[in-house]
Structure 1
Amino acid sequence: MAVTLYSGVTYAQVKNLDRVVAIVDEDVIMQSQLDNRVKEVTATVSKRGGELPPHDVLVKQVLDRLILEDLQVQLARRYGIPADDDEVSAAVIEIAKNNGLTIPQFQMALRKEGLTMNELRTQIRRDMLISRVRQRALSEKIHITDQEVQNFLNSEMGKLQLSEEYYLASILVPVRQGSSYVDVKKAEDKVLAIYKQLQNGADFHRLAMSASGGDRAIDGGDIGWRKAAQLPPPFDQMINGMKVGDFTQPVSTPGGLIILKVMDKRGGSKVLQDEISVRHILLKPTPLRSEAETQKAIERLSQRLSNGEDFAQLAKKFSDDPGSAQRGGSLNWIEPNALVPEFRQVMESTPVGEISKPFQSRYGWHILQVEGRRSTDNTAEYRKQQAMNALYERKYEQELPIWLQQLRDDAYVEIKL
């Protein structure tokens, strides 16, 4: 169960006398660490039903992995890369949640496997440091130009990877090669009758199960997720622009007459981003103004606004947010998720044209005024970001083994097995 709960956890510390099995720059790897990781890998492979290499080969592979991990953790510490207690605690909660356990239940499950919460937290922190030092080191090596992004978007691979996907179902009326005119006519009459039933609202899955001659008939004709580029002509062109619930007219193919239906869609479509036009006044506590005095000051401004004074003028005069104060408190059009939760919650619950009551965030005390709401088409920017992510992942996978090998070559490692 330990492997299921968290694949990186180590087994309980070996109580026997320990010894150094490797010196790695400024650190050492102990026999107990090696034994624990070998046990972990053995358990993982056994659960998957895999076949282990000879023991001596396994030990060497595990030790090599531990050496590389140790070098990365040391580098992360030299860089000053953080992995604080709050982040580790959040990761523990997420692991427990993913396993359907409360924290007390999770702790009990760990104890049954001979593990402690401290051991789990140590491994989570280690994994965080390794992930972050890799991102930092490789981000300095990976560069993506605008031209690369554009080339990717224009390429067949890019179009396929970023295109919309359709969950499809089909009804097939088979027509064998060399069939007589009479047989072809019977098939055409049958598929037209099916098509008419669909136009009258018949259930596609039921018709597929009862009338389709395809091998997927028993599954209600379900084909699964497909991109337009993965479909044979003319379906690759017909499917573009179809909505969920739409179905094609009968199409003649080498295998027979087919009707295709779009059961669901995902990705590739327009990406609309909600934006809100908002003004705010921020008052911060200072050494000369206490928290309580700041709250009273914001309440006085709230009363002045209620009496009809101009929001922009009060923001210019009193707001402690220098950037927005010059614009009368305006944050312009802003995406809600860019704001702290306290601000976002009040903003989203305030009607257009209304002014909120005073509220507190981590920055101080606020009053806000919502001036408008809109949805903007962010599809082009979203697709560009997807392309950048795809290119980055590709280059990351190319650069990672090179970087790890260089890290290993530059290190002082003495194996004492």
Structure 2
Amino acid sequence: MAVEARWCYRGDPQKEQSALLVQFSNGKLKSAENMNFTLYKSKNTNNPRKKHKRILNAETDRLSYVGNNFGAEALKCNTLCRYFVGMLDKNSGQMDVYNAELFNMQPMISDNVADEDLSEYLTKSFREKVDLCIEAFGTTKQKRALSSRRMNEVGKEVLTKAVTKAAEDVIETKGVAALVSDAAEDEKADASLILPPCHEDADKPEDVYKFEDLLSPAEYEALQAPAAAFMSVTAAAILKMAEEKSYCSFVLDELKSLPLDEKTRDHKTRCLWFLDCLVQLSHRRVVKNKNAMGPDCPHIISNKLVKTFTALSYGNGRIQNKVSASMRAKITAYAIALALHINNFQTDLTVLQRDLKLRENKILDIAKAMRLKITKSKGLLGFDEHKLGTLTLPLPVYKMPPIQRKRKMK
């Protein structure tokens, strides 16, 4: 009586096993008795881009073969098709089906290959083996990149020796005190990395921090649609926004006194809508997707916020867009610059500070670095003191805050 045949899908093989299908680029394999296969896996199991990388090595008496599942030489069919390997138990009639991957094996051709050369190859690192594969089978672009990287490695070694020698000469010539003074100047230059471009020689306040440096014409045009709701906003609508906390306090205060001129009103509402996006972004720690600012935010604005005010970081097995401390300082600087354009180059820093959830000394340091004149003013209730930032010409001289040294405990 014939045994009934059936099959069972098992998915991926066990961790210590692999189901692989191979094809040889230079012909068909007649016998596999004298062939040894070795599979190399990437050790970086946390990186999603590298953990699935594999290199398969096949050795015969005459030739060595290499195949991989990544790079320009990898088979494209692995991404378009699925392959399976079945193991049939003749006694039970059951076939276990496993996922498999196809490798294209290409010969490694070299003159007078000795056994010791092969043992040396097998002891090489994963990076060195990939470089050898690129040398043998890589495209012109890959070979050019490999040559450039090797030249850079040599250049780095020479540069390191030159920098070490130069540092010793500078310390011997200038002394420690002069180096500390130079470091303070460098610290001042680093502060400018988070600030909008500043044109110190401008003749008008609006040219110190140009509006085009904050929003490009295309980005400004894209703000028309989401900011249209502000054009006809009523007092009742503003009160409802305040109760729902749908917009920051700075924006709600400015909506109460929109200009009557339609062109000026349109310009101000666009700026306010973008400023609210900056405030919302400053409260984030990680931007998980491109539409993190909501469906109403135009694509070009979302791209600007992610590219300009987030930093790429790697964590939890994936690449993230992180709003770091330096990025929050940059958001604050751009928000101040935009608020200056909204309010005729004088703005209430205290309201912005509360919206951005900063300490007062933090926003004041950024405002001083932007060369603003800081003054005091009574709030709307008469007893709440607010700090105002005003952009005046000529710009005041920027002074670095004094370095606070910790006192030694006696």
Higher RCO structure (Cα 8 Å, ≥6 apart): 1
Q: Give the TM-score band, short-chain normalised.
A: under 0.3
Provide TM-score, normalisation by structure 1.
0.22
